[in-house]
A = this chain, B = another copy of it.
Amino acid sequence: MSRVYDRVALIGLGLIASSMFWAIKRAGLAGEVTGHARSAETRDTAREIGLCDRVCDSAAEAAEGADLVVLCVPVGAMGAVAAEIAPVLDPGATVSDVGSVKKAVIDAVGPHVPRGVHFVPAHPLAGTEHSGPRSGFAELFDNRWCLIVPENGSDRDAIARLERFWQGMGAHTDEMDADHHDLVLAVTSHAPHLIAYTMVGVADDLRRVTDSEVIKYSAAGFRDFTRIAASDPVMWRDVFLSNKEATLEILGRFTEELFALQRAIRTGDGAHLQDYFTRTRAIRRGIIEAGQDTDAPDFGRVRPG
């Protein structure tokens, strides 16, 4: 894989940006990678661990002269960062992002992008329960999807170049429009995250079941929720606030189904339960066949302790 951009600027240095840096270096996708984080502590950490070729004290300094600028900050902060870097962007440069919501990002960032600069929003579907500049690793995007969400009139060459860049970091790419992206992600990610957060919160609240019991016996199912519910709180706050409509729609459908299953339990309708549970098995098989999970026992987890 050869160089796709001369200079890439990463604004925000958390899990995604730090993984991007190591993946860019692994494949030699950029001449120089600059970086900026709002917090001085994060910038110090980045300098200490060699994250980015050059760590800059302002977003504008990092973005200046870059032919790709990637916004890797929480969705709610994207508009302000776009406004800050707009004056230094060169004509022909591309601005992209990694936000989990696309319509709100396009609305917030789009108006700040100067004429002659390409804006190509994107969303890599990858993550871990960890966050911050030390959490990144080059393999995060391997065999994962990165959704490219071109705006109306996005330049085809700029889109193709960004796709090559993500493929170079190990991802598969696909294009999707913003509204559809936000609905699909509400189903596959946003609603499941809110549900997991809720269940972990309930477990934490129950005083008759001590924390230590919930933790000790978590392997019975609950621990798979806790990984999801350990994701970055600020990032997720912004996701829900900015994909409000689709998330609430899916949660409404979820609640309706949950009530139907609760009623089946209460009335002892075993046939309804068994039918429902049989149907959900098929979708799991599809995920394994699509290469998005392993069917090894326990996910092929490396056994702790």
Residues on A facing B (Cβ under 8 Å): 76, 125-130, 137, 139-140, 142-145, 147, 174, 183-185, 187-189, 191-206, 208-209, 211-231, 233-234, 236-238, 240-241, 244, 247-248, 250-251, 253-255, 257-258, 261-262, 265-266, 268, 270, 273-274, 276-288, 290-305
Contact = CB atoms under 8 A, between A and B. Distances in A.
15 contacts: A128-B297, A184-B217, A187-B214, A192-B199, A192-B221, A193-B221, A203-B283, A218-B290, A226-B284, A227-B284, A241-B268, A247-B265, A248-B265, A294-B301, A294-B303
Contacts of A301: 293-294, 296, 299-301
Given A196-B221, A217-B125, A262-B248, A280 B183 contact: no
A219 B144 contact: yes
Nearest to A297: B128
Given A258-B194, A297-B128, A209 B221 contact: no
A304 B286 contact: no
Given A183-B208, A228-B224, A281-B233, A304 B276 contact: no
- Give the number of copies in the complex: 2
Contacts of A254: 198-199, 202
Contacts of A196: 221
Contacts of A288: 304
A255 B293 CA distance: 29
B296 A201 contact: no
Main secondary structure of the interface of A (DSSP, over half): helix
B233 A295 contact: no
B257 A201 contact: yes
B145 A216 contact: yes
A2 to B, nearest CB: 25
Contact of A227 (B200, B224, B247, B258): B224
Given A209-B184, A237-B273, A283 B220 contact: no
Q: Top 8 A-B pairs ranked by shortest CB distance?
A: A291-B305, A300-B302, A189-B220, A233-B277, A230-B284, A200-B280, A192-B221, A188-B222
Contacts of A211: 283, 286
B279 A204 contact: yes
Given A129-B284, A277-B197, A284-B129, A241 B270 contact: yes
Contact of A229 (B231, B244, B284): B284
A124 to B, nearest CB: 10
A217 B188 contact: yes
A270 B77 CA distance: 13
Contact of A270 (B184, B237, B250): B237
